Structure formats: structure tokens, C-alpha cells
């Protein structure tokens, strides 16, 4: 571990490049399937295999998804787009070039708003978001003399989201990636699964003395398959660079790979040996013009975004930041809560219900909220019953809610009536129950009178049990105390 006094002399400068596989049906430039997990080399076409004489054609949906991401990040959408060839040789790239965007990325600028653990908020600027295609998969196996090539992934549409070098800590990088994953999931343009590689991240990291004007030499770190591992890799790389500099060594620009099992990084190649990609305009694709009309069409299709809902939940519904963050974690839960709040005014109770009984029900059965059998209207009705003192919370959560989760069309009130659970505020009824309870426990009554006042809770429990939870607890405890004294 690096001594904090040394560590604190340095500032880290981090920029992230995130690749997101788009959830289209077909590929970026050809109509073979974009589908994960199929038998090798079954999602292929002559275009994917780069047969001579074949021509690519841009997937409309992929463009729409890239534009959506740009709108969500507040980027400027480029009106005149063209595609570019990025040339390099690798066996999983059949054409010998990747069709990407170079001079005209579809989105320019914009930002990602992040929230840190200590509640601080920051915004991280974006350089650009551009469209491109994925490469195939090379499988290197120790016992094989050959490398095996699977081209199912070749040509899958990607957006690459490039941040400005404005990230300063691994915590910020963690929050940034979490936010990007949330965004692409809200937009339903990428499933955000880092373990399966549908969301990937490379980190550019350098360190400099605090207050320095010039950034240090940057090192690119690859091969992190979870957000947590990105954080670990950055943390490790910052320390490694500081230790090297403190030893009097210079940092070389290079690409390093992260080893998740030990948590350190190894050099892959020096930047000088890196490819010269010789970008040039793709002659096989016509320019892509984004019109005002098209932009407005896409804007009209935008779902509510996590930050908008977060603001609504904290400002309009008065939730705590923590509650709002939990409820906006996925769009589906956030929209369920929002709908619930259009049916009840007790926003806090609505949030407690979702974060409590609803979440635990879903977790227990590993369901998503779309599969949740209780409709927001039914839950709102249940909250109204509690608020009107018709049932206690415990009766609601233990008797009525389980009935609702069985998937009924009945309202909470109908269930309460069917099961005879409506709380009785009738003094005569409750007095009668109190009398019965006291008559049935003469010994305990004597103990109470001898000073064991703690028994009141026991009597209360008996009253509630005998009334099947229907006695208004406030009235019951008043009558009980009066009868005993």
C-alpha cells in the first residue's frame, strides 16, 4: 500500500472509453442476426464474411439508438455524418477494416451526471459518441495449434462513448459507469451486461503532481469485465504509476491488461508499436443526414430518464435522496412508483411499500416488476385503507397484501371485506373483547395490578388476536388501560 502522504501529492486524470452493443435485431451494416450465445458462425452473411462485391447498408435502428443516447446525454447531434474505415489486420476482422466514424461522430459533447457515495454530484463531460461495428471473437486455446474464429459478433452495432479526461478518482469512474449502464438500460438500447461483454470499458489513466499544468503520460488499461473491476484496475494503476514516478522512473505510454484474479495490470504493447489506422471515408456508404424532423421524431420517443425521475421523486414527492436513488435504479420500478403516486397522495407510504414488501416479494421469487401481480391501483387502494384507519399496517401487509400477490382482480377493500378484516372503531365491540380477555386471564390481571405494568403489551396482543386484528389499536389500548386501572 502506498503511503497516503505520497499518494495525496498526486492527482489522477482518467478518461473512459465505453463500448455498448446495441440491442438491434440485425447487425450494423448487414441483415444477419445480432444475437448472443448462438452456435459459432451461424449469424453470418456474405457482408459479415467480407466476400468480394458485397456492400454494407446502415441499420436504421442503430442510428436511432445512437441518437437517443446523444439526446439523453445532452450532446449535439451531428447533422452531416459519414462513415470511415479504420484499417488494421486481425483474423476476427474479415474486411481488414472496421467501419466506424472518425471526423463526424454522431454525437459531440454532452455530459453524464454522477452522484458519489458522499452525496456529492458532479458532471463528467463527453468528447463524443460514435457508431461502429464489433469484431468477431478469436478463441485461443492452449491445446490447439490454431486460433479459432467465430464471426457471430462481427458486425454487431456498437456505440463508443468517449469521456473527457475529467474523471479524478476510481469512485467517480465507478459512478460514471453505473450511470451509463442505467442510461442505456432506461433507453433500452443495450442490456448493459459487462460480464457478457455487451458493455465494455477501457480506461486511460495518468497521474500528475497536484496543480501541475500538464498531464502525465497516459496508460490504457483493458480487460475489465465488471464495474467493480474497472474501479480496482484504476486504483491499482494510479498507485503503480505513482510508485514508478517516486522511484524516479518515467511512465511509458502503453496498453496494459487487467488481471482480475490478482488485481494488477501487465503491459500488452507499447504505443509506438500501435497500429496506424489510416482512417479514410468509407466509399461504400452514403452520407447520413439527420434532419430536424427526424430529431424531433426521436425526441418524442424518448422515455423518462433516471435523472428526471430522480428530480421528480425528490422535489415533487418529497423523497429522500437515498429513496429516490433506489427507486430510480431501474426504469420499470421507477415507472411503477410514479404510477402509484398518481393514484395516492401518500408518496412516502408508496415508497415504503415498494422498497419493503414489493421488493422482498420480487427478490424472493426473482421476478422483475413487470411480472409483479399487484397493479398500482390495488396497492394505492391498500394504502388508502391504512390511511383511513380501516386496517392496520400489519393486517394490510400480512393478510391483504399476500392475497393481492396471488394475482386477483379484487380490490384491497374487497379482500378486506371478504376476510372480515375491516378494523372496528366501535367502542362497545372493543370493550367486549377487552372484557373477555381480562376475564380469561385473572392471574395476569392480578400480576399487573401488583405492578407488572409490562403485561399491557401481552393484553394488547390478546385483544388484537381475539378481534382478528380488526380492533382499532389506539382505541383498544385506551380501553384496556382504563379497564385495568
Partner 1 sequence: MSLIHKEMKKVDHDTLKKMAHLSRLEFDQANGEKMINSMNEILDWVEKLNEIDTDAVAPLITMSEEVNQLREDVVKEELPHEKGLQNAPKRDSDYFRVPKVME
For partner 1, which is the closer residue by CB, 138 or 446? 138
For partner 1, which is the closer residue by CB, 159 or 383? 159
What span, in angstroms and rounded, lies between the C-alpha atoms of 309 and 317?
A: 10
For partner 1, which is the closer residue by CB, 281 or 356? 281
What span, in angstroms and rounded, lies between the C-alpha atoms of 208 and 383?
A: 56
For partner 1, which is the closer residue by CB, 275 or 394? 275
What is the grid cell recorded at 95? Answer: 474486411
113: which DSSP letter? E
We find the least distance from the C-beta atom of residue 17 to partner 1, in angstroms, to be 19
Per the CB < 8 A criterion, the answer to whether 346 and 387 are in contact is yes
Q: How far is residue 432 from each of residues 438, 447, 449, measured CA to CA in Å?
A: 10, 22, 20
For partner 1, which is the closer residue by CB, 61 or 468? 61
Q: How many residues does the chain have?
A: 485
We find the least distance from the C-beta atom of residue 48 to partner 1, in angstroms, to be 8
Q: Give the CA diameter of the chain.
A: 101
Which of 285, 319, 289, 177 is CA-nearest to residue 234? 177
What is the grid cell recorded at 143? Answer: 491445446
We find the least distance from the C-beta atom of residue 80 to partner 1, in angstroms, to be 9
We find the least distance from the C-beta atom of residue 35 to partner 1, in angstroms, to be 8
For partner 1, which is the closer residue by CB, 184 or 207? 184
We find the least distance from the C-beta atom of residue 39 to partner 1, in angstroms, to be 7
CA angle 55, 57, 60 (to 5 degrees): 175
Reduced to 3 states, what is the DSSP secondary structure of residue 430? helix
What span, in angstroms and rounded, lies between the C-alpha atoms of 86 and 276?
A: 9
We find the least distance from the C-beta atom of residue 148 to partner 1, in angstroms, to be 4
The four Cα atoms 95, 98, 104, 109 give a dihedral, to 10 degrees, of: 170
Q: Residue 57 — φ and ψ, nearest 5°?
A: -145, 135
Q: Give residues in contact with partner 1 (CB under 8 A).
A: 24-26, 30-34, 39-42, 44-49, 57-63, 82, 87, 89-91, 138-140, 144-151, 268, 275-276, 278, 281, 283, 285-289
We find the least distance from the C-beta atom of residue 34 to partner 1, in angstroms, to be 8
What span, in angstroms and rounded, lies between the C-alpha atoms of 204 and 14?
A: 6
For partner 1, which is the closer residue by CB, 30 or 78? 30
Amino acid at each position: 500500500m502506498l503511503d497516503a502522504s505520497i499518494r495525496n501529492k498526486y492527482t489522477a486524470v482518467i478518461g473512459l472509453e465505453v463500448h455498448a452493443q446495441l440491442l438491434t435485431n440485425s447487425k450494423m451494416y448487414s441483415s444477419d442476426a445480432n444475437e448472443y450465445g448462438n452456435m459459432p458462425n451461424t449469424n453470418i452473411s456474405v457482408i459479415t464474411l467480407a466476400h468480394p462485391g458485397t456492400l454494407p447498408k446502415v441499420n436504421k435502428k442503430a442510428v436511432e439508438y445512437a441518437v437517443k443516447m446523444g439526446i439523453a446525454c445532452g450532446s449535439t447531434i451531428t447533422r452531416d455524418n459519414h462513415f470511415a474505415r479504420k484499417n488494421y489486420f486481425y483474423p476476427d476482422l474479415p474486411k481488414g477494416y472496421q467501419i466506424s466514424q472518425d471526423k463526424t461522430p454522431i454525437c459531440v459533447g454532452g455530459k453524464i451526471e454522477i452522484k458519489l457515495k458522499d452525496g456529492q454530484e458532479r458532471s463528467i463531460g463527453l468528447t463524443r459518441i460514435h457508431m461502429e461495428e464489433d469484431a468477431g471473437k478469436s478463441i485461443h486455446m492452449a491445446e490447439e495449434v490454431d486460433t479459432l474464429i467465430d464471426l457471430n459478433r462481427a458486425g454487431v452495432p456498437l456505440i463508443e462513448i468517449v469521456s473527457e479526461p475529467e474523471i479524478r478518482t476510481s469512485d467517480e469512474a465507478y459512478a460514471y459507469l453505473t450511470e451509463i449502464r442505467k442510461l442505456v438500460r432506461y433507453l433500452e438500447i443495450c442490456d448493459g451486461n459487462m460480464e457478457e461483454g455487451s458493455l465494455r470499458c477501457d480506461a486511460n489513466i495518468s497521474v500528475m503532481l497536484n496543480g501541475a499544468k500538464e498531464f502525465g503520460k497516459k496508460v490504457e488499461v483493458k480487460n475489465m469485465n465488471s464495474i467493480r473491476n474497472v474501479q480496482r484496475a484504476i486504483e491499482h494503476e494510479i498507485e503503480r504509476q505513482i510508485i514508478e514516478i517516486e522511484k524516479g522512473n518515467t511512465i511509458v505510454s502503453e496498453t496494459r491488461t487487467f488481471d482480475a484474479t490478482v488485481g494488477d495490470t501487465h503491459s500488452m504493447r507499447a504505443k509506438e508499436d500501435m497500429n496506424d489506422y489510416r482512417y479514410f471515408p468509407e466509399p461504400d456508404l452514403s452520407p447520413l443526414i439527420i434532419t430536424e424532423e427526424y430529431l424531433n421524431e426521436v425526441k418524442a420517443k424518448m422515455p423518462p430518464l433516471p435523472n428526471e425521475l430522480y428530480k421528480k421523486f425528490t422535489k415533487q414527492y418529497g423523497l429522500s435522496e437515498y429513496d429516490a436513488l433506489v427507486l430510480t435504479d431501474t426504469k420499470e420500478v421507477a415507472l411503477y412508483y410514479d404510477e402509484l403516486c398518481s393514484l395516492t397522495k401518500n408518496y412516502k407510504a408508496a415508497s415504503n411499500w415498494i422498497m419493503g414488501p414489493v421488493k422482498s416479494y420480487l427478490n424472493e421469487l426473482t421476478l422483475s416488476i413487470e411480472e409483479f401481480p399487484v397493479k398500482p391501483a390495488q396497492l394505492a387502494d391498500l394504502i388508502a385503507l391504512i390511511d383511513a384507519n380501516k386496517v392496520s399496517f400489519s393486517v394490510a401487509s400480512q393478510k391483504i397484501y399476500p392475497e393481492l400477490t396471488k394475482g386477483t382482480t379484487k380490490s384491497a377493500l374487497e379482500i378486506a371485506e371478504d376476510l372480515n378484516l375491516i378494523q372496528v372503531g366501535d367502542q362497545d365491540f372493543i370493550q367486549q373483547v377487552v372484557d373477555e380477555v381480562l376475564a380469561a386471564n385473572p392471574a395476569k390481571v392480578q400480576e399487573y395490578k401488583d405492578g407488572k405494568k409490562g403485561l399491557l403489551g401481552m393484553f394488547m396482543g390478546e385483544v388484537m388476536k381475539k378481534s382478528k386484528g380488526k380492533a382499532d389499536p389506539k382505541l383498544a389500548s385506551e380501553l384496556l388501560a382504563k379497564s385495568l386501572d
